[in-house]
Homo-oligomer: A and B are copies of this chain.
Amino acid sequence: MPALTDLELTVLGNVWKKGACTAYSVMREFAASTSSYYRGSAGAIYPLLHRLDRRGYVSSQAGAQGRRPRRTYTITRQGLQALRRWLSPPVPAAAAGITLDLLRTRTYFLAALPPAARARFVRAAEKQLREQLKINTAERDRYRRKGDPFSTLAMEGALHILRARLAWMREMRRRLRNL
């Protein structure tokens, strides 16, 4: 059987964190998260949890109330083991490597613009970054109030990156002047 993907492990982590929960509630969490690269669509989550169930990483209980199916998932020993292995060294290089940054990809081609338009791009980017900083600070605070120190720490990471990108834009503005 193939290794679990990052999405599968992230879902597994969610199930672990919540205790018994439905596929729907995991889906909501993904959809609500501002940080999510995955949209958290039903078409991804439902088959994924079936898969985890079949392979023994989670167990499922059919809900007794009513006649319609209401399935709750719980992580198994094997699932917790897989989750812990994922969180243990060695950390794969790809996890630390730089990913897609739509501001960076644009920066490569800034020479295609006249100087004044380059400055406009940078200012617009700074504005958007400040906007994102506001949104994600609010999310960090929500986690903090909920008393979830690890999610708080995770969002803190997102804020670090956002501030770094903002500093990069300020530096860019300076450097563009004498180019």
Q: Which B residues are in CB contact (< 8 Å) with A94?
A: 102
CA distance A175 to B95 in the complex (A): 22
Copies in the complex: 2
Q: Contact mask A18-35 → B, CB, 8 Å, 1/0?
A: 000000000000000011
CA distance A157 to B122 in the complex (A): 13
Are B87 and A121 within 8 A (Cβ)? yes
Are B98 and A100 within 8 A (Cβ)? no
Residue A99 at the chain B interface, CB threshold 8 Å: yes
CA distance A150 to B123 in the complex (A): 16
CA distance A105 to B165 in the complex (A): 20
A157 and B168 in contact, given A10-B105, A124-B90 (Cβ under 8 angstroms): yes
CB closest residue in chain B, given A130: B96
Q: A17-B109, A89-B120, A110-B150 are in contact. List 17 more A-B contacts (CB 8 A).
A: A13-B109, A17-B111, A35-B101, A86-B106, A87-B110, A91-B128, A95-B102, A98-B161, A104-B157, A107-B150, A108-B151, A110-B153, A153-B172, A157-B165, A157-B168, A161-B165, A161-B168
6 shortest interchain CB distances as A-B pairs = A164-B164, A37-B100, A96-B128, A95-B102, A89-B124, A13-B109
